[in-house]
């Protein structure tokens, strides 16, 4: 009975798991282990990819307590290094547990076991002392690690053995029944599926990141002419002013005041060129994913600076409306700039397809509770009701040369910020696309 | 180009819409009308051309230039292509059809093919891409003024 109390004490996992354990403590029967397995299965269906690791840790603990064993460990194989790493583990208090991230060299510590597991075999060792002669190195390692008995089950992801799940006793030997081993195989299978989901999720995330990079390059290509113009202007002024100053200084009595004015203009144009470079850098920073406090008004001004020459060439009049009291948003500046830029370029395309006035307005406002809203309003052709439901879908485009990625990327950026994105048809003409992102928590509230 | 280095002593810029720089001492014959909607680029060119001894008139947009008194001879224009109201090329054509045309040097901050093509097809003494040097600018002004005087 004492042992049961210990279990409950040692356990501090989820409510669902606690319920399962409490039930098991009341009636430690085989049937309850079945219940535990179904809870395990259900629980892994619910958890998100980011929670998989923590959930595996929790269940390792629960299984150790439920089966009355001492330690459980997940190791994963690193093919390039031919090495196992401990990725998850749990052991009863006071008992040795391998540290997470510890390297377990398969060739020197557990060569026999590693070979068995990698060929897909389940290895049941009721008594470490009875291990076969060819496993003498493994036996020594088990002894060193304090194992008295052990079950090792291959861990498969998408059918390939990527590691193993180990269950062991350290205080006494254990006769593992066929049924217990069957259940543990099921546990390893559930872990494998969950880890596969995590891996797929990471892959999708990486691909979407790469897609965003590609789209940035495409945008860069579209903007090259505009940016060249934006830099050539101050460069031209700087050169002409420098040469004018040199010329002025060759006079018998140089007009030093005019030279000073030329130099002042040079400094101002230098700042102007540097601002353009800074705006572009903010837009094309690679792999920068961290969230911080972001000034949304600054983003609107940056985007405006970048597209200004383009707007001028296309006869589009732009307006920016953002209150100075706008709170900082919580976000990634590069990504949000990219999102606003995509929406603005989209609005440009739309207004150029009409014969009416070409107007694009950028607005930012505080929204309750705790959001910053950005609106891009255009006087363009509007959004067809048939198009509206698909507007933010990837590869959906109404443009003959479009990739259909612009708005899909905006959506993925906004969703990564925990925000939302929507489009509305304007009452007079054109459409407005808007998104909301949360304000930075530290921003003082203005009432 | 040596003679272009003759000293010029432009006064501080006037605040009026149409800014005129008179060259003191021995004025180099010739008036240059400059139009560019980028105030900083306009000031810099005014300073440079004026310091090189020419009389300079500066304008921010086509309507300002066309509303001003256009010299009949010994004058030329330095015209930005990318202007409000109309392009610099269009402005030159409008002036020409109304009999007030002047030899023009086109300047632009754009480098795209469309702009290059438009500029190449326009009736201009020279096309200069920003940022350009003093030497080709003064060289083109010299040629434009020569054309203007011959007319």
Please state the three-class secondary structure of B70-96 as a single string.
CCCCCEEEEEECCCCCCCHHHHHHHHH
Rounded Cα gap, residues A378 and A284, in angstroms: 25
Residues of B in contact with A240 (CB under 8 A): 41, 44-45, 47-48, 131, 134
Residues of B in contact with A318 (CB under 8 A): none
pLDDT digits (tens, 9 = 90+) for A191-250: 999 998 888 888 877 777 777 677 767 777 767 777 888 899 999 999 999 999 999 999
Contact: B82, A255; criterion CB under 8 Å:
no
pLDDT at A97: 67
Rounded Cα gap, residues A174 and A132, in angstroms: 17
Rounded Cα gap, residues A79 and A166, in angstroms: 19
Structure tokens at A252: 């018998």
Phi, psi at residue A284, to the nearest 5°? -115, 25
Contact: A255, B10; criterion CB under 8 Å:
yes
Contact: B132, A239; criterion CB under 8 Å:
yes
> Which segments of B36-151 are extended strands (E)?
55-59, 75-80, 104-108, 126-129
CA–CA min distance A366, chain B (Å): 34
Contact: A244, B82; criterion CB under 8 Å:
no
Residues of B in contact with A265 (CB under 8 A): 40, 43-44
pLDDT for residue A267 is more than 50: yes
pLDDT at A442: 64
pLDDT for residue B14 is more than 90: no
Rounded Cα gap, residues A72 and A97, in angstroms: 9
Residues 6+ apart with CB under 8 A from A50: A201
Q: Please state, rounded to an integer, the average pLDDT across all residues of chain A.
A: 83
pLDDT at A39: 86
B9 — pLDDT class (breaks 50, 70, 90):
very low
Residues of B in contact with A248 (CB under 8 A): 8, 10, 47, 51
CA–CA min distance A227, chain B (Å): 9
A3 — pLDDT class (breaks 50, 70, 90):
very low
CA–CA min distance A240, chain B (Å): 5
Q: Which domains does chain A have, with CATH numbers?
A: 291-447 (3.30.565.10)
Q: Where are the alpha helices (DSSP H) in A285-403?
A: 296-313, 333-352
- Segment B45-69 mean pLDDT: 95
b/e A235-255 (16+ beta carbons within 10 angstroms → b):
bbbbbbbbbbbebbeebeebb
pLDDT: which is higher, A25 or A329: A329
pLDDT for residue A155 is more than 90: yes
Give me the percent of chain A exceeding a pLDDT of 70.
83
pLDDT at A434: 95
Structure tokens at A130: 């009875």
Residues of A in contact with B52 (CB under 8 A): 247
pLDDT at A401: 61
pLDDT at A21: 59
Residues of B in contact with A241 (CB under 8 A): 43-44, 47-48
pLDDT at B22: 46
Rounded Cα gap, residues A143 and A153, in angstroms: 19
Asked if this assembly's ipTM is beyond 0.90, the reply is no
> Which segments of A81-208 are extended strands (E)?
83-91, 103-105, 123-125, 149-157, 160-169
pLDDT at A418: 87
pLDDT for residue B100 is more than 70: yes
pLDDT: which is higher, A221 or A115: A115
Q: Is B116 on the interface with A (CB under 8 A)?
A: no
A38-52, A331-345, A355-369, A416-430: least confidently modelled range: A38-52
Contacting B with CB below 8 Å, chain A residues are 225, 228-229, 232-241, 243-245, 247-248, 250-253, 255, 257-258, 261-262, 265, 268-269, 272, 309, 312-313
pLDDT for residue B12 is more than 80: no
pLDDT for residue A72 is more than 80: yes
> Across A100-114, A332-346, A397-411, which has the greatest mean pLDDT?
A332-346
Q: Is B47 on the interface with A (CB under 8 A)?
A: yes
Give me the percent of chain A exceeding a pLDDT of 90.
38
Q: What angle do CA A150, A153, A155 make, to 5 degrees?
A: 140
CA–CA min distance A355, chain B (Å): 17
CA–CA min distance B69, chain A (Å): 26
């Amino acid at each position: 009975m004492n042992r049961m109390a210990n279990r409950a004490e040692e356990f501090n996992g989820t409510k669902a798991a606690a319920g399962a354990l409490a039930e098991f403590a009341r009636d430690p029967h085989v049937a309850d282990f079945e219940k535990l397995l179904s809870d395990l299965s259900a629980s892994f269906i619910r958890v998100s990819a980011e929670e998989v690791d923590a959930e595996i840790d929790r269940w390792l603990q629960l299984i150790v307590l439920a089966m009355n064993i001492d330690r459980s460990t997940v190791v994963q194989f690193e093919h390039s290094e031919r090495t196992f790493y401990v990725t998850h583990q749990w052991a009863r208090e006071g008992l040795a547990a391998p540290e997470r991230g510890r390297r377990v060299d398969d060739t020197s510590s557990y060569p026999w076991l590693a070979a068995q597991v990698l060929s897909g075999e389940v290895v049941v060792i009721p008594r470490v002392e009875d291990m076969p002669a060819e496993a003498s190195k493994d036996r020594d390692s088990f002894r060193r690690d304090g194992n008295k008995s052990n079950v090792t089950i291959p861990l498969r992801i998408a059918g390939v053995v990527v590691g193993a799940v180990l269950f062991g006793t350290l205080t006494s030997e254990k006769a593992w029944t066929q049924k217990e081993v069957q259940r543990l195989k099921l546990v390893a299978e559930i872990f494998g599926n969950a880890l596969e989901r995590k891996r797929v999720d990471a892959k999708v995330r990486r691909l979407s990141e790469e897609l965003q990079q590609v789209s940035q390059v495409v945008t860069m290509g579209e903007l090259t002419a505009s940016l060249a113009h934006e830099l050539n202007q101050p460069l031209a002024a700087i050169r002409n002013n420098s040469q004018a100053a040199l010329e002025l200084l060759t006079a018998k009595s140089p007009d030093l005041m005019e030279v000073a004015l030329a130099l002042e203009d040079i400094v101002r144009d230098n700042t102007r060129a540097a601002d353009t470079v800074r705006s572009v850098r903010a837009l094309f920073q690679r792999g920068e994913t961290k969230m911080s406090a972001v000034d949304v008004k600054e983003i609107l001004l940056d985007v405006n600076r970048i597209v200004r020459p383009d707007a001028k060439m296309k006869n589009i009049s732009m307006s920016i409306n953002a209150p100075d009291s706008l709170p900082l948003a919580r976000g990634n500046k590069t990504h949000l700039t990219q999102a606003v830029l995509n929406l603005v370029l989209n609005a440009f395309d739309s207004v150029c397809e009409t014969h009416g006035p070409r107007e694009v307005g950028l607005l930012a406002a505080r929204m309750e509770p705790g959001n910053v809203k950005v609106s891009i309003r255009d006087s363009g052709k509007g959004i067809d009701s048939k198009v509206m439901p698909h507007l933010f879908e990837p590869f959906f485009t109404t443009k003959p040369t479009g990739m259909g990625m612009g708005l899909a990327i905006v959506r993925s950026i906004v969703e990564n910020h925990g925000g939302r994105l929507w489009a509305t048809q304007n009452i007079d003409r054109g459409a407005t696309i808007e998104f909301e992102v949360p304000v930075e928590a530290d921003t003082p509230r203005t009432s | 180009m040596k003679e272009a280095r003759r000293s010029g002593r432009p006064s501080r810029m006037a605040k009026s819409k149409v800014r005129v720089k008179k060259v003191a001492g021995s004025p180099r014959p010739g008036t240059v009308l400059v139009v560019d909607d980028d105030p900083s680029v306009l000031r810099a060119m005014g300073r440079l051309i004026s310091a090189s001894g020419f009389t300079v008139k500066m304008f921010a947009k086509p309507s300002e230039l066309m509303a001003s008194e256009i010299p009949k001879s010994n004058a030329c224009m330095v015209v930005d292509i990318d202007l409000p109201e109309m392009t610099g090329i269009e402005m030159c054509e409008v002036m020409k059809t109304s009999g007030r045309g002047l030899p023009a040097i086109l300047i632009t901050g754009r480098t795209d093919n469309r702009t290059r093509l438009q500029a190449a097809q326009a009736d201009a003494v020279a096309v200069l891409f920003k940022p350009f040097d003093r030497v080709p600018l003064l060289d083109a002004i010299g040629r434009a003024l020569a054309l203007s005087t011959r007319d």
